[in-house]
Amino acid sequence: MTRELTEITVVGGDETGLIARVTSLLFERGINIEGLDQAVRDGVFRMTTRVDTAEMTTSRGELRRALAELGRDLDVDIQVRFPSDRDARRVALLVTKETHVPEAMLEAEANGELAEDGEAEIPVVIGNRGDLRSLAERYGKPFYDVGDGSGNTDEGRLLDLLAEYDVDLIALARYMRILSPEVVFRYEGRIVNVHPSLLPAFPGAEAYRQAKDAGVRISGVTSHYVTTDLDQGPVIAQRAFDVPDGASVEEIKRRGQPLEAEVLLEAVRLHLADAIAVHRGTVHVREGTDAEPDLGLPAAASEANPDEPVDGEPLTRPDPPTPGSD
């Protein structure tokens, strides 16, 4: 039997009986609930329901209208994401000032390398400042500045644009603003970020400076899913680099920045290929995937790591020389 997995997200106030009202509406229309998750953060309630609509007794349009009417009645926002009929997946690029990551992402799309199968596009670039408008326009992309001039984001406008362009994934390409639960809850599991440290070390701002101040000898960058906890979402992939003795913050940046684009692109490709899944807060590679994940150190570096000793097992040592053998 063919399944038609659909995602329904409810965001708003924590109303009594809300879950029962939504699930009853679905049951009455022959929709089978496959999974349900809920959370509350900063007074915002979120419920994500994954359902099978393959044998529902209504049309997609009628279900949308019924859920929208229920949302108005409960004063919550209800979004429905049916399986897309589009071939290409849509990735919204969120940016601020730095060009190295968004330019690499746009170049990858131009070369058909944004997804393993080439079926992905960046339909829009959205900034909380206007600095990268010319970069977006150079690649023929519409650019929207949703900031207030000081970097604060009009999240209502941001949500309108994400809905207008019907995005499947949001890539934070050095987007220097924390997203509120109002955004994260609506796109949970579909926002990827790149952070300039080996998380969980050095979360938050000025990660390269934090690395210098801590005197680390190895640092790196991390791609991860975004949650409402700053820089604590499930890790997807990481890259590491050496920090020379006495390296300045600028030198550490020069070593890390090329890897930022690489690791974010890896996260986007894995997500679009449906090659990874989050289980109990940890990203796992799906069995049987055709993708070849590059999650950490390159093969040469991994092979150079010693594989002994192991607790509980003796070291393998050469036999002692036979007396008089020399």
Where in the sequence numbering do the catalytic residues fall?
A: 231
CA distance 157 to 34: 32
According to DSSP H, which parts of the chain are helical? 18-28, 60-74, 100-110, 133-138, 155-164, 181-184, 207-214, 249-272, 299-304
3-state secondary structure (DSSP) of residue 223:
strand
- E-strand stretches of the chain: 5-12, 32-41, 44-52, 76-81, 89-95, 120-127, 143-145, 169-172, 191-195, 218-225, 235-242, 276-279, 282-285
Residue corresponding to tokens 């680099």: 241
Which among 78, 80, 75, 79 is positioned nearest to 14, based on CA atoms? 75
CA dihedral 107, 108, 112, 116 (to 10 degrees): 180
State the Cα–Cα distance between residues 173 and 151, nearest whole angstrom. Answer: 15
